Amino acid sequence: MNPHKRSPLVIAAASLVYFFLYAPIVILILYSFNASRANVTFEGFITETSSRVVMDGSLVKASPCGFFHWYCDLSRNDDVIEAAENTLTIAFTATIIATTIGTMAALALQRYDFKFKPFSQLSLYIPIVIPEIVMGIGILTLFSQTFGALNSALNLTGDSRLSLGIWTVTVSHIAFMVPFVTLVVQARLQGFDKSYEEAAMDLGANEWTTFWRVTFPMILPGVLSGALLAFTLSLDDFVITFFTNGPGSTTLPIYVYGLLRRIITPQVNALSTVWILIVFLAVLALQWLQSREQKPAQ
Amino acid sequence: MLQRLRESKSMQGALLALPTTLWLLVLLIIPLFLTLVVSFGQRSPDGNVIYSFTLDNYTRLLGYNTDCPAGQSSCFDPLYVNILWRSLSLAFNTTVIVITLAYPLAYFIARATPKRRNLFLFMVLIPLWTNFVIRVYAWMMLLRKEGAINIALGWLANLFNIPFAPLEMLYTPGAVLVGMVYEFLPFMILPIYTSLEKIDNSLYEAAADLGANAFRTFLRVTLPLSMPGVVAGTILVFIPVMGTFIVSDILGGRQVILVGNLIQRQFLDARDPTFGSAASLILMVMTLIVTYFYTRKFGFGEEIVSA
């Protein structure tokens, strides 16, 4: 019996599901080259010669970018650039902190016994079993109540008042990222052969040297894929950011959501297309890391 | 002190786990308790919280109403119960449809040759990691009156000379359902695939040797062994569908209100955090109850197979 044999019915169903997954994405990308500013119907591609885009019923001068008109438009949009900067700042900072403390926790949970261990392990599952909106409004309540109390207790006024901003978003992102890092690294540590460490200790290395020269290089692929997962979760997050951002800390998902409720030009499609391209590259990198993890260096 | 730390394994462990545990305590566990406390409070006229102990928010959610027609002191208003019920049944429908769509694809990937398998998996990961908001937007473009679906339908109708008027699909409950299915489908494909991939080929051979046909083999071998994947996928789909508010906000307009929208509005528009907190806790309790009974029921079935 051939284990790779599949009935035509399964193949047909699978193809349909792939079509369902990809058709919206293809249409989205197609509309990023739309000649119509209103972006309601697709009125043909913007070409080099006919790049006169109808704007509010009037003709505008030919765009020097031609086919990529909306992408040029996007690169000149200061709001998008600011949102992208915020998104990356938050994601990088949160990933570094979450990966460091998450890896430490994974080591502690896998290797040590201590008083509050069951509590630590259990708290990791909170973001998985509780809807994100519940966490989001909980964190918002925490911030608004403590900020309100501190502002009036310390008599803070004007700019020195505590308020929501980039740091509240970052701190909240770390909270939902850490469990994923810890669980990924813990899984890596579970299949860990302790004899390498014992050999290093027998040869006279102390615990510190053993960790950095033996243990850490061996868990590094796990740490890296945990970090990459955390990074993508932060880039992608909408709900937690929605409740914890303040003026000046808009991220890309929040920015796009704001646009969807107002006027939509093909610029949104151009932004989405760039984003999908970045995701494509990131997933490629993640797969490459995981394939390296499956075949450890000889 | 340092000497003690060097010798005490339990102190080292505690120290390593401390930052993460504190972080989760302050930003996940304390906020949950705070939500509980606030939900028993009262709203002040300027939208702040007055800490007290009242069950008003919960009775209001469950339909007890003091703002009644003349002559009655209290009456039943099903508004919020309907919202809760709508969210629950939408989450249920979404999960069932997602399982139906995800299973054949996961099966298809698991049975592919190892080389192609990676490509097929990669093709599931791209939509999964494409931003949630962008994916809702894609459906907004597809579903509207002048959108791609209506254009395609119009073209088909024209081909067969059938009169055609564009369908109103956006801002309907159906649009919200399609959007939810699209958003959460990848979260079901991956766990089912993982459990299917683990099945030992010799089991299929044994079933064939014992005279089972392909359908019987699927029913008696493949399906039971893939249940852990379906259970895991259900948890990954059901819980977020219950709480999501973007899909209904964008694709449902203001027509389809789910518990997520209710909570969001209490915090941002209506400025009644005490009522929002109560709704949020009800949402959490609902998801925990469903998850608990579901995993208990099917977790048991899983044990029967492994025995």
DSSP string, chain A: --TT---HHHHHHHHHHHHHHHHHHHHHHHHTTBSBSS-SS---B--SS----EETTEE-PPPTTGGGHHHHHHHT-HHHHHHHHHHHHHHHHHHHHHHHHHHHHHHHHHH---TTHHHHHHHTTHHHHS-HHHHHHHHHHHHHHHHHHHHHHTT--GGGS---SHHHHHHHHHHHHHHHHHHHHHHHHHT--THHHHHHHHTT--HHHHIIIIIHHHHHHHHHHHHHHHHHHHHH--HHHHHH--TT---HHHHHHHHHTS---HHHHHHHHHHHHHHHHHHHHHHHHHHHHHS---
Q: Along the 298 residues of chain A, how does pLDDT read in single tens digits?
A: 455 667 888 899 999 999 999 999 999 998 888 777 666 667 667 665 554 545 444 444 456 677 777 888 888 888 889 999 999 999 999 999 999 999 999 999 988 888 888 999 989 988 888 899 999 999 999 998 899 888 888 887 777 788 888 999 999 999 999 999 998 898 888 877 788 888 888 888 888 888 888 888 888 888 988 898 899 889 889 999 999 998 888 999 999 998 888 777 888 889 999 989 988 888 888 778 777 766 554 3
pLDDT in tens, B114-143: 888 888 988 998 898 888 999 999 999 899
B53 is a domain residue? no
Are B14 and B106 members of one domain?
A: no
Are B7 and B93 members of one domain?
A: no
Are B181 and B248 members of one domain?
A: yes
pLDDT in tens, B31-44: 999 999 999 988 88
Are B165 and B266 members of one domain?
A: yes
- Residue B246 with chain A: CB contacts under 8 Å: 238, 257
Are B32 and B86 members of one domain?
A: no
Check if CATH label 1.10.3720.10 holds for domain A77-262. Answer: yes
> Across all residues in chain B, what is the average pLDDT?
86
- By CA distance, what is B182's nearest residue in A? A21
B136 is a domain residue? yes
Instruction: For residue B100, give its domain range.
Output: 82-306
- Residue A32 with chain B: CB contacts under 8 Å: none
- Residue A105 with chain B: CB contacts under 8 Å: 16-17, 19-21
pTM equals: 0.87
- By CA distance, what is A287's nearest residue in B? B122
Count of structural domains within chain B: 2
Q: Select from B15, B101, B240 the Cβ nearest to the Cβ of A132.
A: B240
The complex's ipTM works out to 0.86
Are B30 and B112 members of one domain?
A: no
Are B277 and B132 members of one domain?
A: yes
Q: Select from B142, B235, B250 the Cβ nearest to the Cβ of A260.
A: B250
Q: What is the DSSP letter of B83?
A: H
Are B169 and B279 members of one domain?
A: yes
B61 is a domain residue? no
> Looking at residue A46, what is its pLDDT?
67
